Amino acid sequence: MSRPTVNDIAREAGVSLATVDRVLNARPGVRGKTITAVNEAIARLGYVRDMAAANLARSRRYPMAVFLPDGGGQFVQTVADALDEAAQQAAATRTEMSLIRYPAGDTHHLAALLAGVDPEAVAGVALMAPETPVLRDAVRALRARAVPVVALASDLPNAGCDHFIGIDSRAAGRTAGVLMGRFLGARPQRVAVLAETMLLRDAIERRRGFDEVLQADFPLVEVLPTLETHGATEALRRGLAEILTGTDLGGIYLLGSGHRALTAALEGMGLLGRVVVIGHELTKASRAALESGHIHAVIAQNPGHLARSTLRVLRAKADRQPIDEGQEQLRIDIVIRENLPA
């Protein structure tokens, strides 16, 4: 017994090959009754489309465009690398990718780039960007031109994207909160929260999740107001010093990037390894800090998974095919020194 083919379906359903083809590829001009009959035959025979052959026959290409902020920190670079690697693999299914960088934060620039996307030349768009009104409109316009759009890492809930690929920031914050609470133990302690900026939705959501958990489950822990560093190492150092004059510090929660700066500041203060530090995203810096014991846990999303998921989802959207939610669901990874991936 070999696998059933389209011919077998045609015979089984009592229709012609052309009709089976119309049903399989959702082409118009088939009665509902016939569609049902064909689908039943498909189910009866357990037919599975041979994607390799299908793609070969189509000789269709899937040029995808991915927009990433330029200079958005280590994490962005990690994602870019993962995307490049995923693209190499995906080339086997004629999925191509061009990575386009835009000045970080300049959503006007990005919106202009999106406006210039040619639906003929681009089968799908993925973007990592903060949500602004300009960008929201740009995404809407793109989708109106039938270009699938997915949000990467940071959701754009009101832009009407086809999909969001990333983890729930609030849940990630909750996870960080539980770890912080447990690592601190059952004594009264204070926790500082650091962020480059609180303007990004992600940071706000993480902080919210973090607070929720600590308030509910670890009442002995006091979470201090967020210290915004705006990327300035000096501001970080000063802020930390100020906090430390008033009181003892049990832990530090790093909402965004800045592992390197934090490590430097802590070293200067002789605090390295004496404070529980929990951060986000696995980058070269945070990995090194984990390895040397300077930070204790990182909440991360697997960049490889993120990248492959992005291309798969865009491909599915381009073909108007359903998405395997289970496979595309990104997990909230907890990374400590002992389970650092090689």
Partner DNA sequence: CGGTTTTTGAGGTACGCACCTCAAATTCAT
Partner DNA sequence: ATGAATTTGAGGTGCGTACCTCAAAAACCG
Binding residues for DNA, rule: CB under 7 A, are: 2-3, 5-7, 14-19, 21-22, 24-25, 28-31, 33-34, 47, 49-50, 53-54, 56-60
The Cα–Cα gap between 207 and 198 comes to: 9
Cβ 58 to DNA, closest distance in Å? 4
Cβ 235 to its own copies, closest distance in Å? 30
The Cα–Cα gap between 299 and 101 comes to: 25
Q: Give which of 136, 134, 173, 130 is closest to 155, Cα–Cα.
A: 130
**Given the complex with DNA, which of 28 and 246 has the nearer CB atom?**
28
**Given the complex with its own copies, which of 71 and 341 has the nearer CB atom?**
341
**Given the complex with DNA, which of 41 and 179 has the nearer CB atom?**
41
Cβ 172 to DNA, closest distance in Å? 39
**Given the complex with its own copies, which of 92 and 144 has the nearer CB atom?**
92
Partner from its own copies, DNA, none contacting 60, C-beta within 5 to 8 A by type: DNA
Contacts 24+ apart (CB under 8 A), 38-45: 38/9, 38/13, 40/13, 41/9, 41/12, 41/13, 42/9, 44/12, 45/4, 45/8, 45/9, 45/12
**Which residues in 162-171 are b (16+ Cβ under 10 Å) and which e?**
bbbbbbbbbe
Binding footprint of its own copies on the chain (CB under 8 A): 2-3, 48-53, 55-56, 61, 85, 88-89, 91-94, 171-172, 174-175, 177-179, 182-183, 185-186, 213, 296, 299, 302, 304, 308, 324, 326-327, 329, 331-339, 341-342
Partner from DNA, its own copies, none contacting 34, C-beta within 5 to 8 A by type: DNA
Q: Which two tokens stand for residue 144?
A: 């109106």
Q: How close are the terminal C-alpha atoms of the chain, in Å?
A: 43
**Given the complex with DNA, which of 56 and 340 has the nearer CB atom?**
56
Cβ 12 to its own copies, closest distance in Å? 18
Partner from its own copies, DNA, none contacting 106, C-beta within 5 to 8 A by type: none
Partner from its own copies, DNA, none contacting 274, C-beta within 5 to 8 A by type: none
The Cα–Cα gap between 342 and 247 comes to: 39
With beta carbons less than 8 A apart as the criterion, state whether 152 and 306 touch: yes
What residue has token string 């934090």?
A: 262
Partner from DNA, its own copies, none contacting 304, C-beta within 5 to 8 A by type: its own copies
Q: Which two tokens stand for residue 134?
A: 């300009």
**Given the complex with DNA, which of 3 and 284 has the nearer CB atom?**
3
The Cα–Cα gap between 323 and 39 comes to: 19
Partner from DNA, its own copies, none contacting 70, C-beta within 5 to 8 A by type: none
Q: Which two tokens stand for residue 213?
A: 């958990």
With beta carbons less than 8 A apart as the criterion, state whether 114 and 142 touch: yes
Partner from DNA, its own copies, none contacting 312, C-beta within 5 to 8 A by type: none
The Cα–Cα gap between 251 and 224 comes to: 10
**Given the complex with its own copies, which of 230 and 331 has the nearer CB atom?**
331
